[in-house]
């Protein structure tokens, strides 16, 4: 599958919101927050989309402030998973973080999301902490770190 990862544009807001809702369900951000991030109204947050012949099928959101970057979201539509798209999106985030001066990339992932945790470990992240009752339903978040130096 040929895919292009590019910065999100305002016209992508609706499909990014649909993916947010599909992939993150109870943990989804409100539509207005997604829209403000995609349209560039949130200064420290950047969004990227993965686009194939079928349109936008995944996205990532990250913030970079000084030497710290945080992967806030990465999601690929159910029908498009296991095709390397999340890895392409993560690569765009890492490149952006490094170019913004970050020396580390952090993220939180649900403790019960074994597939995501394995994905991040394969990409060099290590677990550094846990945040009990972090998610709306009371699930624990695993904090992971990728050094960028």
pTM, entire model: 0.90
pLDDT at 78 over 80: no
Q: Report pLDDT for 10.
A: 94
- Can you tell me the distance from the alpha carbon of 7 to that of 127, in angstroms, rounded to the nearest whole number? 28
Q: What is the mean pLDDT of the chain?
A: 92
pLDDT tens for 42-51 read 888 999 999 9
Eight-class DSSP state of 36: H
Average pLDDT score over residue span 70-95: 91
pLDDT at 149 over 70: yes
- Can you tell me the distance from the alpha carbon of 51 to that of 129, in angstroms, rounded to the nearest whole number? 33
The DSSP H or E segment spanning 50 is strand 45-52
In terms of Cβ atoms closer than 10 Å to its own Cβ (0-12, 13-18, 19+), residue 126 is exposed
The neighbouring-strand residues paired with 7 are: 48
Domain ranges of the chain: 4-105
Q: Are 50 and 4 in contact (CB under 8 A)?
A: yes
pLDDT at 112 over 70: yes
100 Cβ contact partners less than 8 Å away, ≥ 6 residues apart: 64, 69
Sole residue written with tokens 């995944």: 58
pLDDT at 2 over 90: no
Average pLDDT score over residue span 107-132: 94
What homologous superfamily does CATH list for 4-105?
Gcn5-related N-acetyltransferase (GNAT) (3.40.630.30)
Phi-psi group of 104: left, alpha or beta (phi > 0 → left; psi -120 to 50 → alpha; rest → beta): beta
pLDDT at 14 over 70: yes
pLDDT band with cut points at 50, 70 and 90 for residue 141:
very high
In the chain, the largest separation of any two C-alpha atoms, in whole Å, equals 41
């Amino acid at each position: 599958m040929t895919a292009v990862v590019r910065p999100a544009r305002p016209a992508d807001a609706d499909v990014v919101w649909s993916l947010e809702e599909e992939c993150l369900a109870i943990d989804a951000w409100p539509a207005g927050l997604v829209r403000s991030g995609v349209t560039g109204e949130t200064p420290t947050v950047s969004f990227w989309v993965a686009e194939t012949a079928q349109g936008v099928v995944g996205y990532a959101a990250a913030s970079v402030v000084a030497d710290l970057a945080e992967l806030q979201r990465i999601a690929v539509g159910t029908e498009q998973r296991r095709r390397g798209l999340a890895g392409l999106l993560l690569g765009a985030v890492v490149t952006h973080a490094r170019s913004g001066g970050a020396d580390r990339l952090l993220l939180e992932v649900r403790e019960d999301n074994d597939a995501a945790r394995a994905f991040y470990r394969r990409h060099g992240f290590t677990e550094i902490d846990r945040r009990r009752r972090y998610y709306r339903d009371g699930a624990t978040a695993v904090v992971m770190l990728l050094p960028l130096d």
